[in-house]
Amino acid sequence: MGKTVASYRIALDGELQRWRGFARALRNRDRSAFDQMTDACRNYASAGSNATRPVIFESMVISILLHQQKTLNGLKRELDEVRKQLGRP
């Protein structure tokens, strides 16, 4: 008895391929941001695989949101540190 569902990474690559036309239509600076989003999907592929969601796009969106949140948290920490150094709350 073989696998009936493609591996997450294969399915992710297929989904990202389907978005290539969209990416090609973007301006360079927007394409760079789009590529960062797709990289986030790849970076969290193991977590997406473990989520066992039937709709791969859901795991992709959560991966992108997680990456965005981590970036925001880091920026907030940096801003708080700068404010602390300047003696401002």
Range of the domain at 39: 8-86
Of residues 44 and 6, more confidently modeled:
44
Any idea how long the chain is?
A: 89
- As a whole number, mean pLDDT of residues 13-23 equals 96
Burial class (CB in 10 A: 0-12, 13-18, 19+), 81: exposed
Please tell me whether residue 82 adopts helix, strand or coil conformation. Answer: helix
**Listed residue (10, 12, 9, 7) closest to 61, CA to CA:** 12
Decide if 4 contacts 12 (C-beta within 8 A): no
Distance CA 31, CA 37 (A): 10
The arithmetic mean of pLDDT across residues 49-65, rounded, is 91
Instruction: Confirm whether 1 is domain-assigned.
Output: no
Say if 2 falls within a structural domain: no
Instruction: Provide the domain count of the chain.
Output: 1
Mean pLDDT computed over every residue of the chain? 92
